[in-house]
């Protein structure tokens, strides 16, 4: 069993396909194509027994369509609500089928803060923040004051090729000076 992370799938969201000053358009001709590609990429790496933390902004669809998309995805899926999730209740998402739904960031493995938007961490902090919300490098300037290259990892769908990424791969790919790498040095997953 593996642990995967992704955020900002935005299933069913037409406006995410358009170019704006904050992010590049998604490379899909239609919402239907985007949703199919996201589901295919998800299931190409996530098995039924894996755990997935979705870090917000899962779907813009109604209940029935959201549940149909959810039911087509592998894994035991946890949701940390994002800015576009707030207009629906925790129970709405639980009724979709999410294993757990969190309104606020959570601490995972006593080291990783999982959140939708990046969290401000002190430079001496012993924690790392895995987040989404920032769809492209162009949006990074909004968070310059709080994002640290050693404390933050962005798992927004656009930033990880629309494919959930394992916690193990996040740790492996972290630069040697990154807090995530230090976590790997002091903790065993076995």
> What is residue 19's predicted lDDT score, i.e. its pLDDT?
58
Specify the pTM: 0.90
> What is residue 188's predicted lDDT score, i.e. its pLDDT?
44
> What is residue 190's predicted lDDT score, i.e. its pLDDT?
36
Distance CA 166, CA 160 (A): 11
> What is residue 129's predicted lDDT score, i.e. its pLDDT?
92
Beta bridge partners of 78: 53, 100
For the domain spanning 3-186, the CATH number is 3.60.21.10
CA atoms within 13 A on the CB side of 47: 5
Number of C-beta neighbours around residue 14 at 10 A = 11
> What is residue 109's predicted lDDT score, i.e. its pLDDT?
92
Eight-state DSSP code of residue 154: E
3-state helix, strand, coil in the chain (%, to 5): 30, 20, 50
* Residues 46-59 as b or e (16 or more Cβ within 10 Å = b): beeebbbbbbbbbb
pLDDT in tens, the chain (190 residues): 999 999 999 999 988 777 555 566 778 889 999 999 999 999 999 999 999 999 999 999 999 999 999 999 999 999 999 988 888 999 999 999 999 999 999 999 999 999 999 998 887 888 889 999 887 766 666 666 667 667 889 999 998 999 999 999 999 988 887 888 877 765 544 3
Domain ranges of the chain: 3-186
CA atoms within 13 A on the CB side of 69: 23
């Amino acid at each position: 069993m593996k642990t995967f992370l992704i955020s900002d799938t935005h299933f069913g969201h037409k406006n995410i396909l358009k170019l704006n000053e904050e992010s590049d358009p998604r490379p899909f001709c239609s919402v239907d194509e985007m949703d199919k590609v996201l589901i295919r990429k998800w299931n190409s790496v996530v098995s039924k027994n894996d755990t997935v933390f979705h870090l917000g902004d899962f779907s813009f669809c109604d209940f029935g369509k959201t549940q149909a998309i959810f039911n087509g995805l592998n894994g035991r899926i946890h949701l940390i609500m994002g800015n576009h999730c707030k207009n629906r209740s925790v129970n709405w998402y639980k009724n979709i089928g999410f294993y757990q739904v969190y309104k606020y960031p959570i601490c995972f493995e006593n080291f990783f803060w999982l959140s939708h938007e990046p969290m401000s961490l002190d430079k001496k902090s012993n924690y790392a923040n895995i987040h989404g919300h920032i769809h492209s490098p162009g949006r990074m300037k909004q968070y310059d004051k709080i994002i640290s290259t050693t404390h933050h990892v962005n798992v927004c769908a656009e930033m990880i090729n629309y494919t959930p990424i394992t916690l193990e791969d996040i740790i492996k790919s972290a630069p040697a000076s990154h807090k995530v790498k230090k976590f790997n040095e002091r903790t065993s997953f076995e």
